[in-house]
Structure 1
Amino acid sequence: MTYPQLLTPEEKLADAKERLNIPRIVAICGSTRFMDLMTEVDLIETANGHIVVKPGCNMKQPHSLWNNPADAEVLKARLDDLHRAKIRLADEILVVGDYIGDSTRSEISYARSLGKPVRFTHPDVDPGEPDDADNEEA
């Protein structure tokens, strides 16, 4: 006798989104120096019928929540965890801007490790798959 295969959490989420007729979810990633572009891309993606999640805090701008360096460090770690959760929730990520820093590179790698499609507003900055660099050296 065979038993039905249990769904993974990812499969359960995809099934639930389909059953609930949830529109495509796009996670916007990129340096917060591009917050204005993120807002514009959010508008376009929303007008195209997508649910958009993106960074909600720009720690490059002064704010009382992160004036204290110790508070800022704790908040940064919490925001990084929150953004990874947004990536897990999303159907795809959209990277904005013409610059990819370490944090964004890490988010791209994470999304790809989950099998998420990755789009770019500036495709020439795509760092490629992690193995791409290894293959170029061979």
Structure 2
Amino acid sequence: MADRPEIVCICGSARFMDEMQAANSDLTLAGVIVVAPGVLPGAEVTDEQKVALGALHLRKIDLADRVLIVNPGGYLGESTSREIAYARAAGKPVSFTDPG
């Protein structure tokens, strides 16, 4: 048995926040530690804040044992594609909810 539960970082487009929250719930109930994008409902985020949040999410990937990409319909936006490349370069396993 592992010393700690697996850590999974959820990545995906903000348009799939509901799907990411569902994946978070499923993983959490399965005993997984989940790190995911911050939820900022209705918040107006400046360009500077977007850059800072993007960098913060890369640090979440650093913490994770693996990365789960939530991509209904196979959609991958620019930020998610960058996160996938970052995770792979760091040697993190990457899986997709819709491998398409």
Instruction: Tell me the TM-score normalized by structure 2.
Output: 0.90
Q: Which residue of 1 aligns with 2:95?
A: 119
The 4+ residue runs of structure 1 with deviation greater than 6 A are none
Q: Which residue of 1 aligns with 2:49?
A: 75
Q: How many residues align?
A: 97
Q: Which residue of 2 aligns with 1:107?
A: 83
- Any unmatched runs of 5+ in structure 1? 1-17, 67-71, 125-138
Select the structure that is richer in helix.
1
Q: Which residue of 2 aligns with 1:24?
A: 6
Question: Per-residue deviation at 1:48?
Answer: 1.1
Question: Per-residue deviation at 1:57?
Answer: 3.3
Q: Distance in 1 between matches of 2:42 and 2:29?
A: 31
Q: In the alignment, residue 103 of structure 1 is paired with which amino acid?
A: S
Q: Which residue of 1 aligns with 2:30?
A: 48
Q: Percent sequence identity over matched residues?
A: 47
Q: Distance in 2 between matches of 1:30 and 1:121?
A: 10
Instruction: Tell me the TM-score normalized by structure 1.
Output: 0.66
SS at match of 2:34: strand
SS at match of 1:106: helix
- Tell me which of the two structures has the higher relative contact order, counting C-alpha pairs closer than 8 angstroms and 6 or more residues apart: 2
Aligned residues: CA RMSD: 1.4
Q: Distance in 2 between matches of 1:45 and 1:23?
A: 11
Q: Distance in 2 between matches of 1:77 and 1:40?
A: 26
- Any unmatched runs of 5+ in structure 2? none
**Higher CA-based Rg:** 1
Question: Per-residue deviation at 1:53?
Answer: 0.5
Q: In the alignment, residue 105 of structure 1 is paired with which amino acid?
A: S
SS at match of 1:123: coil
Q: Distance in 2 between matches of 1:27 and 1:42?
A: 9
* 1:62-114 residue CA offsets vs partner (Å, 9 max, x unmatched): 32x52xxxxx1111011011000000000000000231011100100100001
Q: In the alignment, residue 92 of structure 2 is paired with which amino acid?
A: K
Q: Which residue of 2 aligns with 1:36?
A: 18
